[in-house]
Amino acid sequence: MSQPAGQHTVRQHNRALVLRQVADAPRQSRAQLALATGLTRATVSGLVDELLVAELLAELSPDRGSRGRPGSPLILNANGPAGLGVEVNVDYISACVLDLTGQIRARQTELVDNRLTTPAAGVDRAIRLAQRVRADAEADGLTVVGASIGVAGLVDSVGVLRRAPNLPGWQSVDLGGAFGDAMRLPVTVDNEANLAALAQLWFGESPQPRDFVLVSGEIGVGAGVVLDGQLYRGVHGHAGELGHVVVDPAGPSCGCGANGCLEQVAGQEAMLVKAGVVAERGVISTGLAAPDGAVAELHRRAAAGDARTRQALGDAGTALGIAIAGFINVVDVPVVLLGGLYARLGEWLVAPISAELDRRVVSREWAPVEVGVSGLGSDACVRGAAATVINALIESG
C-alpha cells in the first residue's frame, strides 16, 4: 500500500528539483531558483546549503554588476562527486570519469582481444583499467561515487552478462558483482549500444533529435533506440540487437547460432576481409581504437579511392540499409545516426544506406528518414555510462 509522502521524501524531491534546475540553467541565484521552482526563498536557501555541504553545488562570487543585494550564482560542483564509465568490448576496453558538469576528467583505452581471454582474466583486466582511471580522477580532486559498465552483449536486470555473440565463453558473467566487489562502488551494467545512445541524447550536437536509432558498428553491430527522449529497452532489456537481423539467409554463420546476420555481412571484420585489409577474421586486434590499426588502413584506402575498399563499404552500406529499413517499417523512427566505426566511415556508408531506405521504407513519401553521423566517436559508450551515474545522482538529489 502506498504511503503519503513524508517530510523526508518531500525534502528529497525538492532537493532534486533545485539540483536539476541548476544543472539545466547554471549560474542562477537562490532568488532566481525560488522563482523557477516555485519554492519559497527560505526553503531554497536551506536546500542549497545542504547541497553545498554535500559538494553537489558550488557557489561563485556574487555578481557585483547587479543592482541591490547581489546573489551568488550557483553551479554544479565540478570538483565533487563523479561517475565512472567502463566499456568491455570485443577488441578493446575503455574507462572514463565524468564530473557533475559532464566534462571528461580522466580516460584510458586499452587494446585487448577479449576473444582470446577467459572471462575472469578479461574482467580482471577491465577492473584494473577502471581502477587506474578512478585513481587519476581522484588525484584530480574528484570522488567517484558509482560506476556503469557497458558490454557488447545481452545483459539482464541484475548486471549479469548473459551472452556475448562475439565473445565465445562469456556466458552468465556477473560483471556487476565483480566490479562492485573490486571497486566497492554501486555498479550498473548495460548493453554498450544502449549507453552510446544515451550519450548521443545527452551530449549530441544540437539540435539533437529526441527520436532516433543510433546504429553502432564495431566487431559486433548494435542499435540503441531512443523514443521521445527515453531509451527503449524492450520488455527484458534486449531491444536493439540489429546486428542479428538476417540480411542474407545463405550468409556466413554467426556467434549467435544463426547465419547471415547483419554483423557477419557488415561488421568490422567482414568489411576488413572484403576490402583485403586482413586475410581472415579474428586473427589480429583490428581495433577501432588503434590509431595505426586495420581500421585506420581501411579508412586510408577508402579515402584514396581504392576500388575494392569502396565496393566493400558499399556492400556493407546496402546490408545496413536493408536491416535498418526493416527496423523503421516496424518501429517508425525518423532519424538514423551512425556511431563507432560506422561514423568514421560515414562518408561512404550514408549514400548506400539512404538508397535502401528510399527503396524499402513504405512511409518514405510522408515521413522521410534522415541518415546522419554521430560526432561522439568511440567514446560514446563510456561517456554514456559515466553520465548515467551523474544523472542518477542529480535525479536523486
- In the complex, which residues of this chain contact Zn ion (CB under 5 A)? 244, 254, 256, 258, 261
| Amino acid letter, residue 248 | D
Question: Which H or E run includes 358?
Answer: helix 346-360
Q: Closest CB to Zn ion among 17 and 258?
A: 258
Q: Closest CB to Zn ion among 132 and 238?
A: 238
Q: How far is the CB of 254 from Zn ion (least distance, A)?
A: 3
Question: What does the alpha-carbon distance between residue 252 and residue 81 come to, in Å, rounded to a whole number?
Answer: 47
Q: How far is the CB of 270 from Zn ion (least distance, A)?
A: 12
232, with CB counted inside 10 A (0-12, 13-18, 19+), is middle
Q: Closest CB to Zn ion among 246 and 296?
A: 246
Question: What does the alpha-carbon distance between residue 265 and residue 171 come to, in Å, rounded to a whole number?
Answer: 24
Phi, psi of 285 (to 5 degrees): -80, 105
Q: How far is the CB of 221 from Zn ion (least distance, A)?
A: 9
Q: How far is the CB of 340 from Zn ion (least distance, A)?
A: 18
Strand order through the sheet with 187-191: 104-111, 92-99, 81-88, 143-151, 187-191
Q: How far is the CB of 153 from Zn ion (least distance, A)?
A: 12
Q: Read off the C-alpha cell for 201.
A: 541524447
Q: How far is the CB of 334 from Zn ion (least distance, A)?
A: 27
Taking each helix axis from N to C end, the angle separating 175-183 and 119-139, rounded to the nearest 10 degrees, works out to 40
Q: Closest CB to Zn ion among 187 and 256?
A: 256
Question: Which H or E run includes 371?
Answer: strand 370-373
Q: Closest CB to Zn ion among 117 and 259?
A: 259
Q: Closest CB to Zn ion among 261 and 389?
A: 261
